[in-house]
Amino acid sequence: MRSNKTLKYIIGVLIAAAVPLSFFFVTRHFSDGKLKIPGYYRPEGTHVVMEEGKPFTDTVFHKVKDLQLTNQLGKTFSLNKDLRGKILVIDFIFTTCPSVCPKLTSNMNEIQKAYIQKNPDLVQFISISVDPVRDSVAALRAYANRFHADHDRWYFCTGNQDSIFDYAKNELGLSLDNADVAGDFIHSQQMVLLDTARNIRGYFDGLDRKETGRLADDIYILNIEKRKHGR
């Protein structure tokens, strides 16, 4: 059971700050008089917690394990250890992809621009190559430059191919059934939102501008939630 205190706190912060939200945010969250906090995905069991002196059965959700990658600057890092405290937005690309990846990356860039201007340290964008053998650090840097990425806050990553595919399938739960197929590579067009505790908080069609608009709004809500819980 999730407390309504978080919801009340977020609404209070939004009103007090007079935050300039997108039209999509306003119509989505306030047209029915409710603010929708991003949900949790991939339940793994239950446990009993105490809330206001009473026991409640709460659902335990999957926490995504760590993954070591190398970004377009040649820096090797871990998604959880080195990006602790940051919200993550993750997608999968490869630089020679002719169709899906350019559109996916262009839409990620729109979200990046919205947050780089006013909240540069709020979120880390992660684009992971599914063709790490050919997508060298130099190739990823050139691709990042093509889409005007902020190299400090949007990482284009290579790594061990088996680890990357295992992470996509078993940690993020991405289905390959409806994924884009190009050559020997299969990748999803989904963008995945992870909170600072590394719970999955949303899947978004990266080719749909309404979906990426919803993702941009949910990043902001998770930031307020993070502030409430001191994470």
Binding residues: 97, 101, 187
Yes or no: say if 144 and 154 are a contact pair by the CB < 8 Å rule: yes
Residues that constitute the known binding site for Cu cation = 97, 101, 187
Give the 3-state secondary structure of 167-189.
HHHHHCCCCCCCCEEECCEEECC
| Alpha-carbon torsion, ordered 25, 91, 103, 140, to 10 deg | 130
Yes or no: say if 147 and 62 are a contact pair by the CB < 8 Å rule: no
- Tell me which DSSP letter residue 62 carries: -
Q: Comparing C-alpha atoms, which of 97, 114, 102, 115 is closest to residue 207? A: 102
